[in-house]
Amino acid sequence: MAAPSADRPAAARTLAVAAAGTLLVLVAFTTPLATLPATAAGVHAGPGGQAWILSGMSVGCAAGLLSSGALGDDYGRRRTFLLGAAVLAVGSLLGAAAPDVWLLVLARVVQGLGGAAIVACSLGLIGNAYPDGGPRARATGIWGAALGAGVAIGPFLALGLQAVAGWRLAYVAVALLAVALAAGGRVALAESRSARPRPVDALGTVLLGLGVSALLAGLVEGRSGWTRPGTLVLLVLGAALIAGFVVAEHRSRHPMLDLVLLRRPDFTGALIAALATGAGVLSITSYTPILVEQGLGGSALAGVSAMLAWSGLSALTPLSARWLSGRVSSRIQLVAGLVGCAAGQLALLGLHPSSALVRLLPGLLLAGAANGVLNAALGRQAVSSVPADRAAMGSGANNTARYIGSAIGLALVSITVTQGVGRGGGSDPATLLHGWNTAVLLTAAFSLAGAIIVLLTRTRTTAEAPVPALVR
Protein backbone atom coordinates (compact mmCIF):
# COMPACT_ATOMS: atom_id res chain seq x y z
CA MET A 1 0.00 0.00 0.00
CA ALA A 2 1.21 3.48 -0.75
CA ALA A 3 2.36 5.54 2.19
CA PRO A 4 -0.19 7.93 3.61
CA SER A 5 -0.44 10.92 1.34
CA ALA A 6 1.41 14.14 2.11
CA ASP A 7 -0.67 16.00 -0.48
CA ARG A 8 -2.89 18.13 1.76
CA PRO A 9 -5.44 19.18 -0.91
CA ALA A 10 -5.85 15.56 -2.05
CA ALA A 11 -6.19 14.38 1.55
CA ALA A 12 -8.76 17.09 2.25
CA ARG A 13 -10.79 16.02 -0.79
CA THR A 14 -10.64 12.40 0.37
CA LEU A 15 -11.83 13.38 3.84
CA ALA A 16 -14.67 15.50 2.44
CA VAL A 17 -16.01 12.69 0.24
CA ALA A 18 -15.52 10.00 2.90
CA ALA A 19 -17.32 12.07 5.55
CA ALA A 20 -20.11 13.01 3.12
CA GLY A 21 -20.62 9.34 2.27
CA THR A 22 -20.81 8.36 5.93
CA LEU A 23 -23.28 11.17 6.62
CA LEU A 24 -25.47 10.06 3.69
CA VAL A 25 -25.55 6.45 4.93
CA LEU A 26 -26.79 7.61 8.34
CA VAL A 27 -29.39 9.86 6.69
CA ALA A 28 -30.70 6.82 4.80
CA PHE A 29 -30.54 4.70 7.96
CA THR A 30 -32.66 7.12 10.03
CA THR A 31 -35.20 8.02 7.33
CA PRO A 32 -38.00 5.73 8.64
CA LEU A 33 -37.71 6.98 12.23
CA ALA A 34 -39.73 10.11 11.49
CA THR A 35 -42.00 8.74 8.76
CA LEU A 36 -42.87 5.25 10.03
CA PRO A 37 -46.65 5.82 10.47
CA ALA A 38 -47.07 7.14 6.92
CA THR A 39 -44.69 4.55 5.50
CA ALA A 40 -46.50 1.69 7.25
CA ALA A 41 -49.84 2.94 5.94
CA GLY A 42 -48.45 3.28 2.42
CA VAL A 43 -47.18 -0.30 2.23
CA HIS A 44 -49.79 -1.86 4.55
CA ALA A 45 -47.24 -2.91 7.19
CA GLY A 46 -48.32 -4.37 10.50
CA PRO A 47 -46.17 -4.39 13.67
CA GLY A 48 -43.87 -7.10 12.32
CA GLY A 49 -43.43 -5.34 8.99
CA GLN A 50 -42.69 -2.06 10.75
CA ALA A 51 -39.95 -3.74 12.79
CA TRP A 52 -38.43 -4.99 9.56
CA ILE A 53 -38.62 -1.56 7.91
CA LEU A 54 -36.63 -0.14 10.82
CA SER A 55 -34.17 -3.04 10.90
CA GLY A 56 -33.72 -3.98 7.23
CA MET A 57 -30.83 -1.59 6.62
CA SER A 58 -29.08 -2.83 9.78
CA VAL A 59 -29.20 -6.38 8.39
CA GLY A 60 -27.63 -5.28 5.10
CA CYS A 61 -24.96 -3.17 6.79
CA ALA A 62 -23.95 -5.82 9.31
CA ALA A 63 -23.83 -8.53 6.64
CA GLY A 64 -21.68 -6.49 4.26
CA LEU A 65 -19.31 -4.39 6.39
CA LEU A 66 -16.44 -6.81 6.99
CA SER A 67 -16.47 -8.36 3.52
CA SER A 68 -16.71 -5.02 1.71
CA GLY A 69 -13.87 -3.65 3.84
CA ALA A 70 -11.68 -6.64 2.97
CA LEU A 71 -12.55 -6.31 -0.72
CA GLY A 72 -11.71 -2.61 -0.59
CA ASP A 73 -8.28 -3.30 0.91
CA ASP A 74 -7.45 -5.92 -1.71
CA TYR A 75 -9.12 -4.61 -4.87
CA GLY A 76 -9.42 -0.87 -4.34
CA ARG A 77 -11.08 1.23 -1.65
CA ARG A 78 -12.14 3.91 -4.14
CA ARG A 79 -13.68 1.29 -6.45
CA THR A 80 -15.57 -0.38 -3.60
CA PHE A 81 -16.71 3.00 -2.18
CA LEU A 82 -18.12 4.04 -5.58
CA LEU A 83 -19.81 0.66 -6.02
CA GLY A 84 -21.38 1.12 -2.59
CA ALA A 85 -22.74 4.52 -3.61
CA ALA A 86 -24.28 2.97 -6.73
CA VAL A 87 -25.88 0.15 -4.71
CA LEU A 88 -27.23 2.67 -2.19
CA ALA A 89 -28.81 4.63 -5.06
CA VAL A 90 -30.43 1.48 -6.50
CA GLY A 91 -31.76 0.41 -3.10
CA SER A 92 -33.18 3.88 -2.47
CA LEU A 93 -34.99 3.92 -5.83
CA LEU A 94 -36.42 0.48 -5.07
CA GLY A 95 -37.64 1.84 -1.74
CA ALA A 96 -39.30 4.81 -3.42
CA ALA A 97 -41.19 2.50 -5.80
CA ALA A 98 -41.94 -0.36 -3.37
CA PRO A 99 -45.63 -1.34 -3.60
CA ASP A 100 -45.67 -3.51 -0.47
CA VAL A 101 -43.83 -3.95 2.79
CA TRP A 102 -41.58 -6.84 1.83
CA LEU A 103 -40.23 -5.13 -1.28
CA LEU A 104 -39.55 -2.08 0.88
CA VAL A 105 -37.70 -4.29 3.38
CA LEU A 106 -35.67 -5.78 0.51
CA ALA A 107 -34.85 -2.25 -0.64
CA ARG A 108 -33.69 -1.38 2.88
CA VAL A 109 -31.39 -4.44 2.92
CA VAL A 110 -29.92 -3.35 -0.43
CA GLN A 111 -29.42 0.14 0.98
CA GLY A 112 -27.57 -1.46 3.88
CA LEU A 113 -25.24 -3.42 1.59
CA GLY A 114 -24.35 -0.24 -0.29
CA GLY A 115 -23.96 1.70 2.94
CA ALA A 116 -21.64 -1.01 4.31
CA ALA A 117 -19.18 -0.52 1.45
CA ILE A 118 -19.26 3.26 1.91
CA VAL A 119 -18.72 3.22 5.68
CA ALA A 120 -16.01 0.53 5.66
CA CYS A 121 -14.01 2.07 2.83
CA SER A 122 -14.43 5.65 4.04
CA LEU A 123 -12.19 4.98 7.04
CA GLY A 124 -9.81 2.98 4.86
CA LEU A 125 -9.48 5.94 2.49
CA ILE A 126 -8.91 8.29 5.44
CA GLY A 127 -6.29 5.98 6.94
CA ASN A 128 -4.40 5.96 3.64
CA ALA A 129 -4.62 9.73 3.20
CA TYR A 130 -3.59 10.79 6.71
CA PRO A 131 -0.53 9.63 8.68
CA ASP A 132 -1.02 8.30 12.17
CA GLY A 133 -0.99 10.89 14.95
CA GLY A 134 -2.51 14.37 15.01
CA PRO A 135 -3.61 14.60 11.35
CA ARG A 136 -5.39 11.25 11.51
CA ALA A 137 -6.99 12.13 14.88
CA ARG A 138 -8.42 15.29 13.33
CA ALA A 139 -9.65 13.39 10.25
CA THR A 140 -11.30 10.58 12.21
CA GLY A 141 -12.86 13.23 14.47
CA ILE A 142 -14.52 14.75 11.41
CA TRP A 143 -15.59 11.27 10.30
CA GLY A 144 -17.11 10.68 13.76
CA ALA A 145 -18.91 14.03 13.50
CA ALA A 146 -20.43 12.86 10.20
CA LEU A 147 -22.02 9.91 12.01
CA GLY A 148 -23.80 12.22 14.45
CA ALA A 149 -24.69 14.72 11.74
CA GLY A 150 -26.34 12.03 9.63
CA VAL A 151 -28.50 10.93 12.56
CA ALA A 152 -29.40 14.57 13.26
CA ILE A 153 -30.26 15.47 9.65
CA GLY A 154 -32.00 12.28 8.50
CA PRO A 155 -35.27 12.44 10.47
CA PHE A 156 -35.76 16.17 9.79
CA LEU A 157 -35.08 15.74 6.08
CA ALA A 158 -37.50 12.81 5.86
CA LEU A 159 -40.19 14.66 7.80
CA GLY A 160 -39.82 17.78 5.66
CA LEU A 161 -39.92 15.87 2.37
CA GLN A 162 -42.93 13.89 3.57
CA ALA A 163 -44.78 17.17 4.10
CA VAL A 164 -43.98 18.15 0.48
CA ALA A 165 -44.83 14.98 -1.41
CA GLY A 166 -45.12 11.97 0.90
CA TRP A 167 -42.66 9.57 2.52
CA ARG A 168 -41.35 8.18 -0.77
CA LEU A 169 -39.68 11.47 -1.68
CA ALA A 170 -37.01 10.93 1.00
CA TYR A 171 -35.90 7.74 -0.78
CA VAL A 172 -35.71 9.60 -4.09
CA ALA A 173 -33.60 12.29 -2.42
CA VAL A 174 -31.18 9.71 -0.98
CA ALA A 175 -30.86 8.10 -4.42
CA LEU A 176 -30.00 11.44 -6.05
CA LEU A 177 -27.51 12.27 -3.31
CA ALA A 178 -25.90 8.84 -3.72
CA VAL A 179 -25.46 9.48 -7.45
CA ALA A 180 -23.90 12.85 -6.64
CA LEU A 181 -21.61 11.14 -4.10
CA ALA A 182 -20.46 8.64 -6.72
CA ALA A 183 -19.78 11.43 -9.19
CA GLY A 184 -17.86 13.46 -6.62
CA GLY A 185 -15.91 10.41 -5.46
CA ARG A 186 -14.97 9.51 -9.01
CA VAL A 187 -13.33 12.92 -9.41
CA ALA A 188 -11.91 13.52 -5.93
CA LEU A 189 -10.76 10.11 -4.67
CA ALA A 190 -7.45 8.46 -5.46
CA GLU A 191 -7.29 4.69 -5.55
CA SER A 192 -5.54 2.84 -2.74
CA ARG A 193 -5.17 -0.84 -1.99
CA SER A 194 -2.92 -3.31 -0.26
CA ALA A 195 0.50 -3.87 -1.77
CA ARG A 196 -0.14 -7.61 -1.37
CA PRO A 197 -3.78 -8.21 -2.33
CA ARG A 198 -5.25 -11.52 -1.23
CA PRO A 199 -7.57 -13.85 -3.10
CA VAL A 200 -11.24 -13.35 -2.29
CA ASP A 201 -12.21 -15.32 0.81
CA ALA A 202 -15.38 -16.64 -0.83
CA LEU A 203 -16.23 -19.16 1.89
CA GLY A 204 -15.69 -16.65 4.70
CA THR A 205 -17.72 -14.01 2.87
CA VAL A 206 -20.67 -16.33 2.37
CA LEU A 207 -20.59 -17.79 5.90
CA LEU A 208 -20.31 -14.40 7.60
CA GLY A 209 -22.89 -12.68 5.40
CA LEU A 210 -25.47 -15.43 5.81
CA GLY A 211 -24.66 -15.94 9.49
CA VAL A 212 -25.02 -12.29 10.47
CA SER A 213 -28.15 -11.94 8.33
CA ALA A 214 -29.78 -14.97 9.97
CA LEU A 215 -28.79 -13.82 13.46
CA LEU A 216 -30.16 -10.31 12.96
CA ALA A 217 -33.29 -11.67 11.29
CA GLY A 218 -33.85 -13.87 14.33
CA LEU A 219 -33.44 -10.88 16.64
CA VAL A 220 -35.97 -8.88 14.62
CA GLU A 221 -38.45 -11.76 14.57
CA GLY A 222 -37.86 -12.29 18.28
CA ARG A 223 -39.73 -9.06 18.98
CA SER A 224 -42.89 -10.98 18.09
CA GLY A 225 -42.01 -14.00 20.23
CA TRP A 226 -38.75 -15.71 21.17
CA THR A 227 -40.20 -19.22 21.26
CA ARG A 228 -41.66 -19.17 17.75
CA PRO A 229 -40.09 -21.93 15.57
CA GLY A 230 -39.03 -19.47 12.86
CA THR A 231 -37.23 -17.26 15.38
CA LEU A 232 -35.40 -20.17 16.98
CA VAL A 233 -34.34 -21.60 13.60
CA LEU A 234 -32.91 -18.23 12.51
CA LEU A 235 -30.99 -17.71 15.76
CA VAL A 236 -29.53 -21.24 15.77
CA LEU A 237 -28.70 -21.06 12.07
CA GLY A 238 -27.02 -17.68 12.51
CA ALA A 239 -24.92 -18.90 15.43
CA ALA A 240 -23.91 -22.06 13.51
CA LEU A 241 -22.89 -20.12 10.40
CA ILE A 242 -20.85 -17.62 12.43
CA ALA A 243 -19.13 -20.52 14.20
CA GLY A 244 -18.41 -21.98 10.77
CA PHE A 245 -16.93 -18.63 9.73
CA VAL A 246 -14.54 -18.72 12.71
CA VAL A 247 -13.41 -22.25 11.80
CA ALA A 248 -13.00 -21.30 8.13
CA GLU A 249 -10.93 -18.21 8.98
CA HIS A 250 -8.71 -20.27 11.28
CA ARG A 251 -7.98 -22.76 8.48
CA SER A 252 -7.76 -20.34 5.55
CA ARG A 253 -4.39 -19.29 4.13
CA HIS A 254 -5.88 -15.93 3.16
CA PRO A 255 -8.60 -15.13 5.73
CA MET A 256 -10.82 -12.10 5.50
CA LEU A 257 -10.33 -11.58 9.25
CA ASP A 258 -7.10 -12.99 10.64
CA LEU A 259 -7.92 -14.26 14.12
CA VAL A 260 -4.43 -13.26 15.29
CA LEU A 261 -5.86 -9.75 15.64
CA LEU A 262 -8.05 -10.92 18.50
CA ARG A 263 -4.89 -11.25 20.60
CA ARG A 264 -4.36 -7.50 20.38
CA PRO A 265 -5.86 -5.62 23.35
CA ASP A 266 -6.47 -2.46 21.28
CA PHE A 267 -8.35 -4.36 18.55
CA THR A 268 -10.50 -6.43 20.91
CA GLY A 269 -11.08 -3.43 23.17
CA ALA A 270 -12.41 -1.42 20.23
CA LEU A 271 -14.69 -4.31 19.20
CA ILE A 272 -16.09 -4.59 22.74
CA ALA A 273 -16.63 -0.83 22.93
CA ALA A 274 -18.43 -0.83 19.56
CA LEU A 275 -20.64 -3.75 20.63
CA ALA A 276 -21.50 -1.98 23.91
CA THR A 277 -22.22 1.28 22.08
CA GLY A 278 -24.72 -0.44 19.80
CA ALA A 279 -26.40 -2.42 22.57
CA GLY A 280 -26.39 0.57 24.91
CA VAL A 281 -26.84 4.20 23.94
CA LEU A 282 -27.72 3.66 20.27
CA SER A 283 -30.55 1.27 21.11
CA ILE A 284 -32.29 3.46 23.69
CA THR A 285 -31.92 6.77 21.82
CA SER A 286 -33.37 5.21 18.66
CA TYR A 287 -36.68 4.93 20.57
CA THR A 288 -36.78 8.58 21.60
CA PRO A 289 -39.36 9.52 18.91
CA ILE A 290 -41.65 6.65 20.01
CA LEU A 291 -41.25 7.69 23.63
CA VAL A 292 -42.15 11.31 22.91
CA GLU A 293 -45.14 10.56 20.67
CA GLN A 294 -46.73 7.61 22.46
CA GLY A 295 -45.51 8.07 26.01
CA LEU A 296 -45.39 11.84 26.49
CA GLY A 297 -48.04 12.90 23.96
CA GLY A 298 -45.72 14.94 21.72
CA SER A 299 -45.79 15.37 17.95
CA ALA A 300 -43.56 13.67 15.39
CA LEU A 301 -41.60 16.91 15.08
CA ALA A 302 -41.16 17.04 18.85
CA GLY A 303 -39.87 13.46 18.78
CA VAL A 304 -37.16 14.09 16.19
CA SER A 305 -36.31 17.41 17.87
CA ALA A 306 -35.70 15.59 21.16
CA MET A 307 -33.47 13.14 19.32
CA LEU A 308 -31.55 16.10 17.92
CA ALA A 309 -30.35 16.93 21.44
CA TRP A 310 -28.46 13.64 21.40
CA SER A 311 -27.40 13.46 17.76
CA GLY A 312 -26.46 17.13 17.54
CA LEU A 313 -23.87 16.86 20.29
CA SER A 314 -22.73 13.52 18.83
CA ALA A 315 -21.82 15.53 15.74
CA LEU A 316 -20.08 18.37 17.60
CA THR A 317 -17.93 16.68 20.24
CA PRO A 318 -15.79 14.58 17.84
CA LEU A 319 -14.47 17.83 16.36
CA SER A 320 -12.98 18.78 19.73
CA ALA A 321 -12.17 15.22 20.86
CA ARG A 322 -9.16 15.18 18.53
CA TRP A 323 -7.34 17.35 21.10
CA LEU A 324 -7.49 14.40 23.49
CA SER A 325 -5.53 12.07 21.19
CA GLY A 326 -2.10 13.21 22.35
CA ARG A 327 -3.06 13.53 26.01
CA VAL A 328 -5.41 10.64 26.80
CA SER A 329 -5.04 7.07 25.56
CA SER A 330 -7.66 5.66 23.25
CA ARG A 331 -8.56 3.03 25.85
CA ILE A 332 -9.36 5.71 28.44
CA GLN A 333 -11.36 7.68 25.85
CA LEU A 334 -13.42 4.57 25.13
CA VAL A 335 -13.99 3.92 28.83
CA ALA A 336 -14.88 7.56 29.54
CA GLY A 337 -17.24 7.66 26.55
CA LEU A 338 -19.08 4.51 27.66
CA VAL A 339 -19.35 5.72 31.26
CA GLY A 340 -20.64 9.10 30.05
CA CYS A 341 -23.22 7.36 27.86
CA ALA A 342 -24.35 5.25 30.82
CA ALA A 343 -24.70 8.35 32.99
CA GLY A 344 -26.76 10.05 30.29
CA GLN A 345 -28.97 6.99 29.92
CA LEU A 346 -29.58 6.76 33.66
CA ALA A 347 -30.61 10.43 33.66
CA LEU A 348 -33.55 9.36 31.46
CA LEU A 349 -35.01 7.22 34.26
CA GLY A 350 -38.17 8.04 36.18
CA LEU A 351 -40.39 9.35 33.38
CA HIS A 352 -44.18 9.37 33.80
CA PRO A 353 -47.02 10.56 31.52
CA SER A 354 -46.99 14.09 32.96
CA SER A 355 -43.22 14.56 32.48
CA ALA A 356 -42.29 17.58 30.36
CA LEU A 357 -40.18 17.11 27.24
CA VAL A 358 -37.45 19.25 28.78
CA ARG A 359 -36.98 16.46 31.33
CA LEU A 360 -35.21 14.48 28.57
CA LEU A 361 -32.64 17.13 27.71
CA PRO A 362 -29.95 16.63 30.40
CA GLY A 363 -29.68 12.90 29.74
CA LEU A 364 -29.77 13.22 25.95
CA LEU A 365 -27.18 16.01 25.94
CA LEU A 366 -24.80 14.10 28.21
CA ALA A 367 -25.22 10.87 26.24
CA GLY A 368 -24.71 12.77 22.97
CA ALA A 369 -21.49 14.42 24.13
CA ALA A 370 -20.09 11.10 25.37
CA ASN A 371 -21.18 9.27 22.23
CA GLY A 372 -19.30 11.81 20.11
CA VAL A 373 -16.10 11.05 22.03
CA LEU A 374 -16.76 7.34 21.45
CA ASN A 375 -17.30 7.79 17.70
CA ALA A 376 -14.02 9.66 17.28
CA ALA A 377 -12.04 7.15 19.36
CA LEU A 378 -13.62 4.13 17.65
CA GLY A 379 -12.91 5.54 14.20
CA ARG A 380 -9.26 6.07 15.09
CA GLN A 381 -8.87 2.66 16.78
CA ALA A 382 -10.52 0.82 13.89
CA VAL A 383 -7.68 2.01 11.63
CA SER A 384 -4.70 2.06 14.01
CA SER A 385 -5.28 -1.37 15.59
CA VAL A 386 -4.83 -3.28 12.30
CA PRO A 387 -2.00 -3.44 9.75
CA ALA A 388 -1.81 -0.34 7.58
CA ASP A 389 -2.96 -2.20 4.48
CA ARG A 390 -6.07 -3.63 6.23
CA ALA A 391 -7.63 -0.32 7.33
CA ALA A 392 -10.97 -0.85 5.57
CA MET A 393 -11.23 -4.36 7.00
CA GLY A 394 -10.58 -2.92 10.47
CA SER A 395 -13.36 -0.40 9.93
CA GLY A 396 -15.69 -3.14 8.70
CA ALA A 397 -15.00 -5.36 11.73
CA ASN A 398 -15.55 -2.51 14.18
CA ASN A 399 -18.79 -1.34 12.61
CA THR A 400 -20.06 -4.92 12.30
CA ALA A 401 -19.72 -5.20 16.08
CA ARG A 402 -21.64 -1.93 16.46
CA TYR A 403 -24.53 -3.11 14.27
CA ILE A 404 -24.75 -6.53 15.94
CA GLY A 405 -24.81 -4.82 19.34
CA SER A 406 -27.51 -2.47 18.11
CA ALA A 407 -29.62 -5.39 16.86
CA ILE A 408 -29.35 -7.12 20.23
CA GLY A 409 -30.15 -3.93 22.15
CA LEU A 410 -33.04 -2.95 19.89
CA ALA A 411 -34.61 -6.38 20.28
CA LEU A 412 -34.53 -6.05 24.08
CA VAL A 413 -35.65 -2.41 24.05
CA SER A 414 -38.49 -3.20 21.67
CA ILE A 415 -39.84 -5.90 23.95
CA THR A 416 -39.77 -3.70 27.05
CA VAL A 417 -40.71 -0.30 25.59
CA THR A 418 -43.46 -1.39 23.23
CA GLN A 419 -45.21 -3.85 25.50
CA GLY A 420 -47.88 -1.17 25.99
CA VAL A 421 -48.35 -0.59 22.28
CA GLY A 422 -51.39 -2.31 20.94
CA ARG A 423 -51.63 -3.98 17.56
CA GLY A 424 -53.95 -1.26 16.40
CA GLY A 425 -51.33 1.40 17.14
CA GLY A 426 -52.83 2.51 20.46
CA SER A 427 -50.84 2.49 23.64
CA ASP A 428 -51.10 2.98 27.35
CA PRO A 429 -48.57 5.78 28.14
CA ALA A 430 -48.01 4.65 31.73
CA THR A 431 -47.23 1.08 30.62
CA LEU A 432 -44.99 2.27 27.81
CA LEU A 433 -43.05 4.55 30.17
CA HIS A 434 -42.66 1.73 32.67
CA GLY A 435 -41.14 -0.33 29.87
CA TRP A 436 -38.94 2.62 28.91
CA ASN A 437 -37.54 2.84 32.45
CA THR A 438 -36.74 -0.87 32.40
CA ALA A 439 -35.08 -0.52 28.98
CA VAL A 440 -32.94 2.38 30.24
CA LEU A 441 -31.58 0.16 33.02
CA LEU A 442 -30.81 -2.65 30.56
CA THR A 443 -29.01 -0.46 28.03
CA ALA A 444 -27.10 1.45 30.73
CA ALA A 445 -25.91 -1.94 32.02
CA PHE A 446 -24.57 -2.74 28.54
CA SER A 447 -22.65 0.56 28.46
CA LEU A 448 -21.19 0.07 31.94
CA ALA A 449 -20.27 -3.57 31.26
CA GLY A 450 -18.46 -2.48 28.09
CA ALA A 451 -16.58 0.21 30.01
CA ILE A 452 -15.46 -2.27 32.67
CA ILE A 453 -14.29 -4.86 30.14
CA VAL A 454 -12.38 -2.27 28.08
CA LEU A 455 -10.81 -0.86 31.26
CA LEU A 456 -9.61 -4.34 32.23
CA THR A 457 -8.16 -4.91 28.77
CA ARG A 458 -4.43 -4.50 29.24
CA THR A 459 -2.87 -2.04 26.82
CA ARG A 460 0.67 -2.67 25.70
CA THR A 461 3.14 -0.33 24.11
CA THR A 462 3.72 -0.49 20.39
CA ALA A 463 7.14 -1.98 20.99
CA GLU A 464 5.67 -4.76 23.09
CA ALA A 465 2.78 -5.57 20.80
CA PRO A 466 3.41 -4.47 17.23
CA VAL A 467 0.55 -4.75 14.78
CA PRO A 468 0.97 -8.15 13.13
CA ALA A 469 1.73 -8.14 9.42
CA LEU A 470 -0.78 -10.96 8.89
CA VAL A 471 1.13 -12.42 5.98
CA ARG A 472 0.79 -16.17 5.62
Question: Which pLDDT tens digit goes with each residue over 318-335?
Answer: 877 666 666 777 788 899
Predicted pLDDT of residue 382: 79
Summarize pLDDT for 171-211 with one digit per residue, the tens: 999 999 999 999 999 999 989 887 777 777 788 888 888 88
Q: Which pLDDT value is given to residue 422?
A: 47
What band does 466 get if pLDDT is binned at 50, 70 and 90? very low
The whole-number pLDDT of residue 54 equals 82
pLDDT score at 347 = 94
CA distance 158 to 156: 5
Question: Would you say residue 461 has pLDDT above 50?
Answer: no
What is the average pLDDT value for the chain, to the nearest integer? 84
Q: 140-154, 366-380, 406-420: which has the minimum mean pLDDT?
A: 406-420
Q: What is the mean pLDDT of residues 34-39?
A: 87
- Ranges 121-130, 171-180, 201-210, 282-291, most confident: 171-180
Residue by residue, DSSP assigns 149-193 as HHHHHHHHHHHHHHHHH-THHHHHHHHHHHHHHHHHHHHHPPP--
Give tens-digit pLDDT for 407-422: 788 778 877 776 645 4
Provide the pLDDT for residue 295: 84
Average pLDDT over residues 426-437: 80
Mean pLDDT in residue range 135-145: 83
The predicted model gives 419-447 an average pLDDT of 77
Listing DSSP states for 188-218 in one string gives: HPPP---SSPPPP-HHHHHHHHHHHHHHHHH
Region 245-250: what's the mean pLDDT?
A: 88
Q: What is the pLDDT of residue 200?
A: 74
Span of 112-116, 273-277, 285-289, 337-341 with lowest mean pLDDT:
285-289
The phi and psi torsions of 329 (rounded to 5 degrees) equal -65, 155
Instruction: Say what the pLDDT of residue 419 is.
Output: 60
pLDDT of residue 471: 41
Q: Which residues of 189-226 are buried (b: 16+ CB within 10 A; e: fewer)?
A: bbebbbeeebeebebbbebbbbbbbbbbbbbbbbbeee
Question: Can you give the pLDDT at residue 313?
Answer: 85
pTM above 0.95, yes or no: no
